[in-house]
Structure formats: structure tokens, C-alpha cells
């Protein structure tokens, strides 16, 4: 349901040598989504993991798999990620020459579709695709690496997107990604974001359940 607060730990900050355990632990700790950051070393200056890893983790978990593709022309890989068990695929506006087609392809595979914007891309670019998507992801850092600081200008951008959705009578999820911790989660939530990604803010803490609960509580108190 759009509007409901969801916490999405990003596996990018987990122990890459023991992903199976990381997934089981955040599932037990109350994560709503598992955020899966796929990087191709071309769209972003880093390489993470692909559909094979997601497929292996799918066998271990019942969590909602939120795949964030930071990949050039992601239309080439949608079937792979669908077969791997993604529940939602988010593609970057900046990485798709034919975004509308890519969104239709994701939905045609029976999945939820999201579109992501880099910090420098204005939300007005989404005007004509909003009715087609289930979620908008606003990057609050430049994609490529975990552990960066939340870019303060994102807050106003979230508010502008929330206004656009309201004016159109659309109830989409707004996901915010990058530099979110229990200490600042209320800021994007107050502006209208309801899906909060957190990598180091969960996996960098000793107690995952406490970190997830604290993010949820500070966001819900918006």
C-alpha cells in the first residue's frame, strides 16, 4: 500500500562473504524489503552483483526483493532478474533510451516497476511516466557506493514529487536511497518518502532489529 512506511536494508553494506546469513538476519530483524543494488561498472563506477546472486538468495528468503538496477540499458537483463526472483525492478531514467518500453516490459513480466533518478535529474522529467510506475526512487547520494552522506537538497525534491503525485491523484511509493540512518530518516519521511533504503545504517550496526525499528519509528513519527 502506498504511503505505508517500509524499511529496505541494502545488501551492499552486508558481509559479501556471507550473504545468506545477512539476508536471514535482516528478515528476522523485521525488514520489509530487501534492497538489491546491482551495479555494472558502466552506469556507475563500481561493480556489485547480478541476477545469479539474487537467484541464490531467493531460495533462502521470503522477503520482498527490491532490485535497483544501476545498469546501462537495463532492458537487456529484465528477464534474467525476473527469473531470479525480483519482486520489483527499478531502472534509472538516465540509463534508458526508451524508458516507457522498459517499464512496460517489467510489468509484462508480472513485476512491479520503479524508476530512479540521480541527484541532478529533476522530478519534472517523470511527468509522462508517473502513471505507468509503481514506485519512484530518488537517489539521495550519487549512485555507486554505500556509506555516503545524504544530500540535503533531496528533501525538497521529495516534497516536489509528492506534490506532483497529489496533483495527479496518484498514490505511488516514494523510495529514498543513500545516507539514511535512524538519525535522519524522519527528514525524507516528513517530505513524503515512505520506502527508506539503508545500507550502512542497518548492516553497520551491531543490532539490526534495533536499527530497523529505529528507522521505522523515526520515519513514522514524521
Binding site for ligand DX5 (CB under 6 A): 10, 12-13, 35, 37, 68, 70, 141, 143-144, 146-148, 177-180, 197-201
Q: Does 68 bind Zn ion (CB under 5 A)?
A: yes
Closest chain position to Zn ion (CB):
68
Kindly identify the residues of this chain, within the stretch 150-209, that bind Zn ion according to CB under 5 A: 177
Looking at the Cβ atoms of 105 and 184, the one nearer to ligand DX5 is: 184
Sheet arrangement for strand 135-139: 6-9, 195-198, 173-177, 135-139, 112-117, 88-92, 64-70, 33-39
Angle at which helix 208-220 crosses helix 19-28, to 10 degrees, equals 50
Query: Which of the choices ligand DX5, Zn ion, none does residue 96 contact, using the CB cut-off of 5 to 8 A by kind?
Result: none
Among 25, 32, 37, 134, the residue binding Zn ion under the rule CB under 5 A is 37
- Torsion angles phi and psi, residue 137, rounded to 5: -105, 120
Which among 130, 197, 172 has a CA at the least distance from the CA of 188? 197
Query: Measured between alpha carbons, how far is 16 from 81 in angstroms, rounded to an integer?
Result: 19
Looking at the Cβ atoms of 40 and 134, the one nearer to ligand DX5 is: 40
- Residue ranges binding Zn ion (CB under 5 A): 37, 68, 177
Amino acid at each position: 500500500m502506498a504511503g505505508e512506511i517500509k524499511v529496505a536494508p541494502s545488501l551492499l553494506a552486508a558481509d559479501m562473504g556471507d550473504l545468506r546469513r545477512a539476508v536471514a538476519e535482516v528478515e528476522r530483524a523485521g525488514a520489509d524489503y530487501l534492497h538489491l543494488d546491482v551495479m555494472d561498472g558502466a552506469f556507475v563506477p563500481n561493480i556489485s552483483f547480478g541476477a545469479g546472486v539474487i537467484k541464490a538468495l531467493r531460495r533462502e528468503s521470503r522477503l520482498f526483493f527490491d532490485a535497483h538496477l544501476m545498469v546501462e540499458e537495463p532492458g537487456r537483463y529484465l528477464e534474467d532478474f525476473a527469473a531470479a526472483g525480483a519482486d520489483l525492478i527499478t531502472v534509472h531514467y538516465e540509463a534508458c533510451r526508451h524508458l516507457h518500453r522498459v517499464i512496460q516490459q517489467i510489468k509484462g513480466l508480472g513485476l512491479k516497476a520503479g524508476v530512479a533518478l540521480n541527484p541532478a535529474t529533476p522530478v519534472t522529467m517523470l511527468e509522462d511516466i508517473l502513471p505507468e510506475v509503481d514506485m519512484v526512487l530518488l537517489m539521495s547520494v550519487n549512485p555507486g557506493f554505500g556509506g555516503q552522506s545524504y544530500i540535503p537538497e533531496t528533501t525538497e525534491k521529495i516534497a516536489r514529487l509528492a506534490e506532483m503525485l497529489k496533483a495527479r491523484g496518484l498514490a505511488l511509493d516514494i523510495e529514498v536511497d543513500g545516507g539514511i540512518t535512524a538519525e535522519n530518516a524522519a527528514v525524507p519521511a516528513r517530505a513524503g518518502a515512505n520506502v527508506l533504503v539503508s545500507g550502512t545504517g542497518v548492516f553497520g550496526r551491531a543490532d539490526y532489529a534495533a536499527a530497523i525499528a529505529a528507522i521505522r519509528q523515526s520515519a513514522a513519527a514524521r
